[in-house]
């Protein structure tokens, strides 16, 4: 049987550092730089009293609808007021998020395209999993929490899990084969390996065996076997995930279409299709992570969490509502990771 990767392929307030250490491999843990930033596309006129660009006009109409100051001002002053109003509204929503370092960019549409707002993830490497990866909590509890994160987190963050890693490695080493027999045949037929010299540790079963028990879904405790506090954290995560999933794609700050992304950010198709963050522990899979991340380390990762075109100012309130839903979801994930089930 062959694998098919689910990773899409192409046609400032300071927060605590959640990086515990930098591993030997190049694919490091996330959040070495913790901060927040909001930018409006720099390709706008900055000379005194120059006309406002389309994205400033769009955000300006939204700012005016919020009851901001209507005092007369120059265009340069208007630009600064618009940016401050938008910055403050965004920062208020994303500032509590420590899980990843997010950047919001308002893009100036060209060729008759409307302005758009992008959510970009500046974190790279393994997500700090806290007690799930390194604690004395029962393994079945840790597996339940990890499984929930692996099943939900991609709705808002560019992150890949173990299944994605395995599929990529399968394509990289075994021509898409996912069992030992197929992988061994591939190594012999296509790579010229000597049947008697194939290292058993290089086969799919050996890679799967390196997973800690907390990474394996069927090791998770049944729902009623979990402590009430942990059930509440998981319930909150699932509920926030479900609410985010109900949003219309064209009104969702955490969604993007590849073809639209390429129109707004020409050249990004040269980047790796791999997301910059992973739920796979570096300690057990450093070699595999380095292998599949090589292109991203050289050309950049697919670090976009969402891109939402905004044809009119009325859509901005929808964008903010979706931004808040996504932030609530990430805060639920963050709360689960920071949870201490031992001291219930």
Nearest to 132 by CA among 117, 118, 116, 144: 144
**H helix runs in the chain, sequence order:** 54-65, 75-94, 139-152, 162-174, 180-189, 204-209, 228-245, 258-264, 282-299, 314-338
Give per-residue pLDDT as tens, 87-120: 889 999 999 999 999 999 988 877 788 999 999 9
In the chain, % helix, strand, coil (3-state, to 5) comes to 50, 10, 40
Give per-residue pLDDT as tens, 2-17: 443 445 544 333 343 3
* DSSP three-state, residue 157: coil
- Write the DSSP symbol of residue 222: P
The CA distance from 53 to 60, in Å, is 10
Give per-residue pLDDT as tens, 171-192: 988 989 999 999 999 888 887 8
Yes or no: say if 268 and 296 are a contact pair by the CB < 8 Å rule. no
DSSP 170-184: HHHHHTTB-SHHHHH
Q: Which two three-digit tokens encode residue 34?
A: 């913790």
**Cβ-Cβ contacts under 8 Å for 53 (sequence gap 6 or more):** 41, 44, 45, 108
Q: How confident is the model at residue 25 (pLDDT cuts 50, 70, 90)?
A: very low
**Percentage of residues in the chain having pLDDT higher than 70:** 82
């Amino acid at each position: 049987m062959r694998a098919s990767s689910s990773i899409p392929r192409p046609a400032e307030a300071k927060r605590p550092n959640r990086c515990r250490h930098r591993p030997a491999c190049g694919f490091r843990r996330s959040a070495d730089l913790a901060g927040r930033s909001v930018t409006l596309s720099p390709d706008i006129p900055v000379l005194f009293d120059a006309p406002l660009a389309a994205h400033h006009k769009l955000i300006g109409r939204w700012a005016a609808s919020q009851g901001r100051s209507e005092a007369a001002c120059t265009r340069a002053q208007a630009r600064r007021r618009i940016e401050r109003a938008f910055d403050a509204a965004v920062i208020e929503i994303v500032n509590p998020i420590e899980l990843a370092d997010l950047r919001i960019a308002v893009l100036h549409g060209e060729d008759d395209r409307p302005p758009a707002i992008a959510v970009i993830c500046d974190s790279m490497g393994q997500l700090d999993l806290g007690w799930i990866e390194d604690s004395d909590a029962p393994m079945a509890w840790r597996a339940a929490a990890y499984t929930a994160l692996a099943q939900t987190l991609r709705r808002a963050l560019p992150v890949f899990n173990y299944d994605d890693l395995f599929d990529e490695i399968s394509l990289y080493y075994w021509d898409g084969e996912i069992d030992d027999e197929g992988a061994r045949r591939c190594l012999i037929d296509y790579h010229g390996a000597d049947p008697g010299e194939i290292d058993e540790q290089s086969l799919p079963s050996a890679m799967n065996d390196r997973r800690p028990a907390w990474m394996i879904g069927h090791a998770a405790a049944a729902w009623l076997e979990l402590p009430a506090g942990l059930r509440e954290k998981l319930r909150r995560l699932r509920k926030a995930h479900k609410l985010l999933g109900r949003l219309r794609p064209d009104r969702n700050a955490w969604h993007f279409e590849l073809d639209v992304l390429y129109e707004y950010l020409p050249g990004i198709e040269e980047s790796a299709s791999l997301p910059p963050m992973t739920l796979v522990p570096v300690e057990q899979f450093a070699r595999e992570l380095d292998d599949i991340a090589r292109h991203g380390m050289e050309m950049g990762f697919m670090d976009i969490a969402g891109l939402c075109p905004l044809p009119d100012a009325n859509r901005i309130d929808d964008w903010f509502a979706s931004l808040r839903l996504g932030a609530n979801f990430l805060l639920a994930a963050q709360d689960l990771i920071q949870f201490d089930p031992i001291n219930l």
